[in-house]
Amino acid sequence: MAFVALGGNAPAKAQTPTKTGRVALYLLLPGLFYLGLFFLTPLFSLILTSLKAPSPSGEIGRYEVAAEFGNYLYAVGQYLPQIIRSFGFALLATIIALAISYPIAYFIAVKARNKPLLKGLLLTLVIAPFFISMLLRTFAWKQIFSNDSWVVNTLKDIGIFGSDSYIIGTNFAVIFGLVYNFIPFMTLPIFSSLDRLDLRLVEAGGDLYANPFTTFRKITFPLSLPGVISGTLLTFIPISGDYVVASRDFLGGPDTAMIGNVVEANFLRIQDYPTASALSVLLMAAIVVLVSIYVRRSGTEDLL
């Protein structure tokens, strides 16, 4: 019935709100189905696994259904440094990415607004890294920073580095890699917010005695907040769970492991599925809590 109203030549007023509501519901169904199947099912399985106990047979990698909440305590007790490091790295990398991305986004959206060619070129440059796999790009950085690389040798030659200094495996290398990989995710939402900024409001700020800095603080920045919030979320959340950059195969070392690396090790190497699952659930819960506090504190729920 509702589809008839949509497809036919029925006058608009014949469409009661309930019918429109029903059409919307039908349109929602595929999405709900997808979410149910591909998000809730694995989530349920993950929670189930996180509560399993080792099999009585003692065989490695064999577990059976239980309600072993001790897995969570064990996971926290064993991997607290990695948990703290994950959020610390994520926070630091997000702040650095914001500091780098905001001026880029501002320049493209505001300064290059009336220069379509420059604007298009700069936007392409921001997106360009996506043309190459993230793994390859991170691997390239590993080579650039490797121990006998040009970069490290030059730093040694000019005396900044001692003869036994290195970059790969340090906190710096990991944070650098994280910032590098996630800058486009920060830049694009801020750009789209600033792109919609009505520059006449900025002029009005100047007209009302606000100097350029105050105008930025009181008008430009608050109006770009939705972009800043989405950008920081799109950066902070994936970085917290990232396991590529900090991995020993890439830019990390023994002392840079993040939750993602621990989860990977537990799942794939130690085959301690319950601990790995418990860590994953904890990571998710922590992110939900942190993000909801953040969004509420920034007072922009309605803007998102």
DSSP H helical ranges for 36-144:
41-50, 70-106, 116-127, 134-144
C-alpha–C-alpha distance, residues 221 and 205, integer Å: 12
Q: Toward another protein, which CB reaches closer, 207 or 255?
A: 207
Token pair, residue 17, equals: 């709100």
Question: 278 near 71, Cβ under 8 Å?
Answer: yes
Residue 194 beta carbon to another protein: minimum distance, rounded to whole angstroms: 14
Contact between 209 and another protein per CB under 8 A: yes
Q: Toward another protein, which CB reaches closer, 190 or 279?
A: 190
Question: 188 near 126, Cβ under 8 Å?
Answer: yes
Contact between 304 and another protein per CB under 8 A: no
Contact between 208 and another protein per CB under 8 A: yes
Contact between 270 and another protein per CB under 8 A: no
User: Applying CB under 8 A, what is the total number of residues that bind another protein?
Assistant: 19
Contact between 210 and another protein per CB under 8 A: yes
Per CB under 8 A, which of residues 215..234 are in contact with another protein? Answer: 215, 218-219, 222-223
C-alpha–C-alpha distance, residues 122 and 112, integer Å: 9
Contact between 147 and another protein per CB under 8 A: no
Among 153, 214, 271, 292, binds another protein (CB under 8 A): 214
Q: Toward another protein, which CB reaches closer, 9 or 114?
A: 114
Q: Nearest Cα to 281, choosing from 43, 28, 37?
A: 43
Cα-based angle 53, 55, 59 (whole degrees, multiple of 5): 130
User: Which contiguous run of DSSP H or E holds residue 29?
Assistant: helix 17-35
Burial of 232 (0-12, 13-18, 19+ CB in 10 A): buried
Residue 217 beta carbon to another protein: minimum distance, rounded to whole angstroms: 11
Q: Which among 3-11, 106-114, 197-205, 279-287 is the span making contact with another protein, rule CB under 8 A?
A: 197-205
Contact between 206 and another protein per CB under 8 A: yes
Contact between 207 and another protein per CB under 8 A: yes
Helices 171-195, 221-240: axis angle to 10 degrees equals 140
* CB contact set of 253 (below 8 Å; sequence gap of 6+): 168, 169, 170
Contact between 13 and another protein per CB under 8 A: no
Contact between 203 and another protein per CB under 8 A: yes
Q: Toward another protein, which CB reaches closer, 170 or 298?
A: 298
Contact between 201 and another protein per CB under 8 A: yes
The residue ranges that bind another protein (CB under 8 A) are 198, 200-201, 203-212, 214-215, 218-219, 222-223
